[in-house]
Amino acid sequence: MGFNHKANSCSMLQLFLLTCSCSCFLLGFCTAIDTLRVNESIQDHETLVSNEQKFKLGFFSPVDSSYRYVGVMYNLPVMTVIWVANRDTPLNDSNGKIEISGDGNLVVLDGKRELIWSSNLSISVVSSSAQLLDTGNLVLRDNSNGRTLWESFEHASDSFVATMKLGTNLNINTNKRNILTSWRSPSDPAPGRFTFTIEPLEIPESFIWNGSYPYWRSGPWNGQIFSGLPNMKSFYKHGLDLVNDSPGNAYLTFTHLNSSIEIYYVLNSSGVLQEKVWSDEKGDWNVTRLSLATDCELYGRCGPFGICNAKGKPICNCFPGFVPRSEEEWDAANWTSGCVRKTPLLCEEGNSAKEDGFLKLKKVKLPYHLKWSPTFIEECRGQCLNNCSCIAYAYDAGIGCMLWSESLIDVQQFSSGGADLYIRLANSELGNKKDQKAIIISTTVLSFFIILLCVYFMWKFSLKYRGKMDTGYPTEKILKDDVKFEELPLFKFEILSNATDNFNLINKLGQGGFGPVYKGKLLNGQAIAVKRLATSSNQGVEEFMNEVEVISKLQHRNLVRLLGCCVESDEKMLVYEYMPNGSLDAYLFGSDKKEFLDWHQRVMIIEGICRGLLYLHRDSRLRIIHRDLKPSNILLDEELNPKISDFGTARIFGGKEDQANTIRVVGTYGYMAPEYALEGRFSEKSDVYSFGVLLLEIVSGKRNTRFYDDEQGQSLIAYAWKLWNEENVVKLMDQVLYDPKMKTEVMRYAHVGLLCVQEKAKSRPNISTVLSMLSSEIVELPRPTQPAFLVSCSASETESSKRSASKCSVNGVTLTIGVGR
């Protein structure tokens, strides 16, 4: 039996079929038109169309070819194939068929019913069916349990579409990498020479290979973009993300941020990665070239220690301090053998490694073969300097410290973007002569200048203390021994004072961790938020420095962005981007703004916070524990995107450390995990606890600490737990948006929330698992165990008979942490 579905066939019927298609696998009697079943087949002139008619499965012939192939295509007037089944084995007539075979495989047969292609399942199943999803994924499922047996998204052809995952170790069963393989030519879908892969290196990078030779590389992923593609902003705009949740496992994926824009990526048969955006006016795809836009992007164009500048003539140059290995070849524009050092390194001659120095190359594409080191910028240089085999280092806020010990290859000069690379050179190459006389002379001259400088600075400081000096601060290295500020733009006090109308109370936005926050406007019109350390506050200094240290290293769309700081005499201020919608608590708990946050908006906020937290815990590679997550520390931008703020109490963990103790417990009552509040033990899991509380608050629109059910003194968590046991968690949903249609999703969110607030830190999921649970990647959620209830003293006293309670002191307030039995 065959069937032919034309686009725009009866839509009522489709609606009906849509609603029942989920139950089809189990019941096996209703026919959904996007599904192929046992004893059905698709013939050459027929297609299987996905539910919303976005994609179709059927036969096609490439341009200038008469062979027939089976593929998944966009359901558009322009033939756009995203996946091909029988790439190597074309049919030479139109008698082919697509079927489900007796052993459960999806197969393509020719006119003589001989096997042309098979999904090659490793196990045999009694009955299966294939469904074409609206994402373009063709999925083969076991009818007896609905389990996915095979999917086209895990066997990519040359195209990368939304929700697909390209990378490694995705499917633990097959241990297979999912890569793009180009067509041999536009008329031949057989695997060509070019492949696009995500390499699960310490810091993942993507590559295009010509056979087994690297052809192009993207540079390391810095948490937002591939750092070697400074023009990659459009990728980011389209929701591209690289997930690197465990060593050796990294995959690239993207989601449609704007459903009215259809976009996908393809590796074409000449090895060029293209971005294709559908244009309705044109009725065709708009194509942008992403790789190899210039000759410089060819991998290793200028050889080892060569640097390529697309605007240069010639394009290749040696690094400073290096000369061509072969002048002849170099002059003949054959750059492959690269450059060599002019002067050997002192450390190579047996001197101390510290005898060498570093030269900074600005705005370059970082070379291949980097090693990541879990250190900060201050130690990064020292770590490289002390080891003679380290020949370069770089520091990127999103990656951290990178070291190189092999030859430096594939370096490109950009005019903007890129990163700064510090290369090791002999001191003499840095302009320091070995000559004894020169050293003596320069030392004398230097000492003279140092004395002069000291005198000058002493004079300036004495002026400042008399309050006579108002401006004239150098914008760099104001605190020479304090590297932390070196990276940050410095604002003059005067400018910030003007911007905030002399810190006018009218402009006060609120009270941050260590001082008031003011709204301001710079002369160029940019709105800013200025956090001013209260001059009286001694304790605040530590938190101020901590915030600078933590946040100046971070960059993520769900973290508030630090624009700079101001450090002048007694004044210490931090300048942030201004968030017009204030903090989440005003929206969530203020009755007048509540309605702005519909369910969809809340889901976006929860997910955003989760991504920000994931970045802090994992992707930033610095492992930061925030320690004070709560609605008032979540700021909302003009589109209500959440941004985590207030890093005054955050802690950075070293490489292998994953738990720490503190005597000074800081944080906020109601959001602190029990092990932290009671024993000062904090870890990623204590942030997960706070996130769980936050999640339950966002779902319910109620504060954990000021929540009262009919039974007095019950926290929101206790209430959620009670509802869970009554199998009625949907009641948790905020009254203002109650909608029975959302039931399953609300239940899922509440379920995840309860998993996060479990009493034992060990049983709480880590944040990357939380994200997968929220996005339904993980379908089967474990049952939560009893949460830890944080109850106020009075509440606990009234219920003391029911609870085992212990007393502790947090922030000078005596709390009772009661753990229900």
Ligand X SMILES: *[C@@H]1O[C@H](CO)[C@@H](O)[C@H](O)[C@H]1NC(C)=O
Using the rule CB under 6 A, is 289 a contact of ligand X? yes
What character string, x for contact with ligand X (CB under 6 A) and - otherwise, covers 188-227? -----x----------------xx----------------
- The size of the chain, in residues, is 821
Q: Judged by CB, which is closer to ligand X: 496, or 605?
A: 605
The footprint of ligand X on this chain (CB under 6 A) covers a number of residues equal to 34
Distance CA 190, CA 408 (A): 35
Using the rule CB under 6 A, is 174 a contact of ligand X? no
Q: What are phi and psi of 207, to 5 degrees?
A: -135, 150
Site for ligand X in 35-94 (CB under 6 A): 38-39, 92
Region of 260-268, 359-367, 504-512, 801-809 interacting with ligand X (CB under 6 A): 260-268
Count of Cβ atoms closer than 10 Å to residue 408 Cβ = 26
628 is catalytic: yes
Query: Closest separation between CB of residue 222 and ligand X, Å?
Result: 21
Distance CA 211, CA 507 (A): 62
Contact 372, 398 (CB under 8 A): no
Q: Where are the alpha helices (DSSP H) in 289-338?
A: 327-331
Using the rule CB under 6 A, is 800 a contact of ligand X? no
Q: Which of 597, 663, 593, 610 is nearest to 811 (CA)?
A: 663
Count of Cβ atoms closer than 10 Å to residue 103 Cβ = 13
Q: Judged by CB, which is closer to ligand X: 116, or 635?
A: 116
Q: Which of 554, 54, 488, 564 is nearest to 264 (CA)?
A: 54
Contact 683, 659 (CB under 8 A): yes
Q: Judged by CB, which is closer to ligand X: 279, or 511?
A: 279
Among 270, 511, 775, 798, indicate the residue that binds ligand X (CB under 6 A). 270
Query: Closest separation between CB of residue 186 and ligand X, Å?
Result: 5
Distance CA 495, CA 571 (A): 13
Query: Closest separation between CB of residue 405 and ligand X, Å?
Result: 4
Contacts of residue 57, defined as CB under 8 A and 6 or more positions apart, other chains included, come to: 42, 47, 48, 49, 70, 71, 72, 73, 98, 132, 138
Q: Judged by CB, which is closer to ligand X: 92, or 775?
A: 92
Region of 3-11, 53-61, 285-293, 725-733 interacting with ligand X (CB under 6 A): 285-293
Q: Judged by CB, which is closer to ligand X: 117, or 721?
A: 117
Query: Closest separation between CB of residue 795 and ligand X, Å?
Result: 45
Among 163, 187, 268, 555, indicate the residue that binds ligand X (CB under 6 A). 268
Region of 117-125, 221-229, 618-626, 705-713 interacting with ligand X (CB under 6 A): 117-125
DSSP notation for 626-689: -----GGGEEE-TT--EEE---TT-EE--SS--EEE-SS--S-TTTS-HHHHHH-EEEHHHHHH
Region of 60-68, 261-269, 640-648, 782-790 interacting with ligand X (CB under 6 A): 261-269
Query: Closest separation between CB of residue 803 and ligand X, Å?
Result: 49
Among 2, 102, 146, 186, indicate the residue that binds ligand X (CB under 6 A). 186
Q: Catalytic pick from 110, 356, 628, 646?
A: 628
Pairing, β 213-217 against β 240-246: unpaired
Q: Judged by CB, which is closer to ligand X: 324, or 753?
A: 324
Region of 334-342, 598-606, 618-626, 661-669 interacting with ligand X (CB under 6 A): 334-342
Q: Judged by CB, which is closer to ligand X: 86, or 583?
A: 86
- Return the half-sphere exposure (C-beta side, CA atoms, 13 A cut-off) of residue 177: 16
Among 15, 261, 445, 479, indicate the residue that binds ligand X (CB under 6 A). 261
Q: Which of 238, 357, 216 is nearest to 293 (CA)?
A: 216
Residue 403's beta-bridge partner residues? Answer: 371, 393
Helix/strand/coil (H/E/C) assignment for every residue in 674-712: HHHHHHCEEEHHHHHHHHHHHHHHHHHCCCCCCCCCCCC
Among 9, 279, 442, 776, indicate the residue that binds ligand X (CB under 6 A). 279
Using the rule CB under 6 A, is 542 a contact of ligand X? no
Pairing, β 813-820 against β 789-791: antiparallel
What is the crossing angle of helices 743-756 and 716-725, to 10°? 120
Distance CA 133, CA 143 (A): 16
Among 4, 144, 258, 447, indicate the residue that binds ligand X (CB under 6 A). 258
Query: Closest separation between CB of residue 269 and ligand X, Å?
Result: 4
Helices then strands, counting H and E runs in the chain, come out as 15, 48
Site for ligand X in 16-45 (CB under 6 A): 38-39
Using the rule CB under 6 A, is 555 a contact of ligand X? no
Instruction: Give the chain's largest Cα–Cα span.
Output: 99
Query: Closest separation between CB of residue 246 and ligand X, Å?
Result: 23
Region of 333-341, 344-352, 449-457, 477-485 interacting with ligand X (CB under 6 A): 333-341
Region of 268-276, 348-356, 646-654, 774-782 interacting with ligand X (CB under 6 A): 268-276
Query: Closest separation between CB of residue 443 and ligand X, Å?
Result: 31
Using the rule CB under 6 A, is 511 a contact of ligand X? no
Query: Closest separation between CB of residue 604 and ligand X, Å?
Result: 12
- Return the half-sphere exposure (C-beta side, CA atoms, 13 A cut-off) of residue 1: 6
- Return the half-sphere exposure (C-beta side, CA atoms, 13 A cut-off) of residue 753: 31
Using the rule CB under 6 A, is 402 a contact of ligand X? no
Active-site amino acid positions = 628
Binding residues vs ligand X (CB under 6 A): 38-39, 92, 110, 117-118, 120, 186, 193, 210-211, 258, 260-261, 268-272, 274, 277, 279, 286-287, 289, 329, 334, 336-337, 371, 387, 389-390, 405
